[in-house]
Amino acid sequence: MSGPGGPGPGNPGSPPFGAEPSFAYACLLGRCPRCGKGKLFSGFLKVGAGCSVCRLNYARFDAGDGPAVFVILIVGAIVTGGALLTEVWFSPPYWVHAVIWGPAVVILSLGLLRPLKAGLLVLQYRHRAEEGRIVR
């Protein structure tokens, strides 16, 4: 996919093929999936308009509800497993569970949401995913 919006020749400022940042780097630091230098987000979860370095347009990226679903499943599994193990091993009063697992849910949810959203956006770029169209 060279030309407008794609990597490679024909796009000034785009890195050569194979110079894309690693998946983990782009996700964890919220960097541009093409060059790895520009910021992917303009706020905590708001996707920016485009990369300030390679000029990749982020308008076609849309993670939808995917990141929230993954966060719910991952955090739910961790907290449920942790609460069950804590109850079986230590049998603490219920207020201890509230003190431990209440903040754990908030911290884990906020900590995972941004990297998971960045991950889905990077995967959309790498696999050239876009909305389906009916060709007539």
Q: At what angle do helices 66-90 and 94-126 cross, to 10 degrees?
A: 150
pLDDT tier for residue 2 given thresholds of 50, 70 and 90: very low
Residue carrying structure tokens 């995967």: 123
Give tens-digit pLDDT for 70-95. 999 999 999 999 999 999 999 999 99
Indicate the residue type of 48.
G
Determine the pLDDT at residue 103: 98
E strand segments, the chain: none
Q: Which helix (H) or strand (E) holds 75?
A: helix 66-90
Cβ atoms of 32 and 40 closer than 8 Å: yes
